Amino acid sequence: MIKRGRGIGCNLYGVGYGFNRADHSAATIEVADDGSVTVLSGACDMGQGSDTIFCQIAAEELGVAYEDVRIISADTFFTPDALASSASRQTYVSGEAVRKAAADVKGHLLKLAAILLESPIEDLDIKRGSVFSKSSPESIQMPFKKLAWEAHFRGKQFIGFAWHDNTTPDVDKETNQGNAYATYIYATQVADVEVDTETGQVNVVRVAAAHDVGRAINPKNVEQQIEGAVVQGMGYAIMEEIIMQEGITLTPSFTKFLIPTAKDSPEIISYIVESNDLKGPFGAKGVGEGAIIPTAIAISNAVYDAIGVRIYSLPITPEKILAALSEKFN
Contacts 24+ apart (CB under 8 A), 254-262: 259/235, 260/231, 260/232, 260/234, 260/235
Concerning whether 138 is annotated as a catalytic residue, the answer is no
The answer to whether the Cα torsion of 14, 15, 16, 20 is positive or negative is negative
Taking Cα atoms as reference points, which of 292, 274, 275 lies closest to residue 231? 292
Q: Is the Cβ–Cβ distance between 193 and 306 less than 8 Å? A: yes
Helix axes 293-307, 219-238, angle to 10 degrees: 50
The answer to whether the Cα torsion of 53, 54, 56, 57 is positive or negative is positive
Catalytic residue among 61, 96, 150, 289: 289
Which residues carry out catalysis? 289
